[in-house]
C-alpha cells in the first residue's frame, strides 16, 4: 500500500512521539511511504518556526525521512478542494504519486474521507487498515 503522511502527523511523531510515531514506525516496515518536496518544505517551516528547532536537528529529522520514505513528485496542478491551499497540495501530491491512503490529523482533510480513490484517515484509524 502507498501511504502519504501529512506534515502534521510527521511533526507530531518527531515532537511528541506517541501514536503518530508508532504508526510511522510500523508503516515503514509494512508499506511504501512517500514524501514530497512540498511536505519536506512545510515540515521544515513548522519545525523551525513553530517549535524553534535548530537547523542541525531539523536536518537530522529530514535525513530520517529521506532514508525511510520514498521521494515522490510534488504536483504542479492543484484543484481547489479545501479552503487551505496546503491541504489541496497534499491531495494533489496523493493523486500524482498514486497514493492509496493519506494519514492526517487535519480535520478538513479527514472530513473528505476519500478523494479520487484515496482514503483519508487519522493515525488512530491506521490500525483498522
3-state secondary structure of 77: coil
Average pLDDT, the chain: 95
List all residues 6 or more positions away from 104 whose beta carbon is below 8 Å from its beta carbon: 5, 6, 8, 9, 90, 110, 120, 121, 122
pLDDT digits (tens, 9 = 90+) for 15-27: 998 999 999 999 9
Decide if pLDDT at 39 tops 90. yes
Count of alpha carbons within 13 angstroms of residue 117, beta-carbon side: 8
State pTM to two decimals.
0.95
Amino acid at each position: 500500500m502507498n501511504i502519504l503522511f501529512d506534515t502534521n502527523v510527521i511533526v507530531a511523531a518527531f515532537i511528541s512521539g506517541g501514536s503518530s510515531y508508532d504508526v510511522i514506525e510500523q508503516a515503514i516496515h509494512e508499506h511504501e511511504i512517500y514524501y514530497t518536496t512540498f511536505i519536506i518544505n512545510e515540515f521544515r517551516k513548522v519545525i523551525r518556526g513553530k517549535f524553534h528547532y535548530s537547523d542541525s536537528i531539523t536536518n537530522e529529522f529530514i535525513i530520517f525521512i529521506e532514508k525511510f520514505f520514498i521521494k515522490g513528485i510534488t504536483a504542479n496542478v492543484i484543484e481547489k478542494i479545501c479552503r487551505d491551499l496546503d491541504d489541496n497540495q497534499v491531495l494533489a501530491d496523493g493523486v500524482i504519486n498514486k497514493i492509496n491512503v493519506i494519514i492526517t490529523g487535519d480535520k478538513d482533510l479527514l472530513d473528505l474521507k476519500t478523494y479520487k480513490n484515496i482514503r483519508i484517515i487519522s493515525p488512530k484509524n491506521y490500525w483498522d487498515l
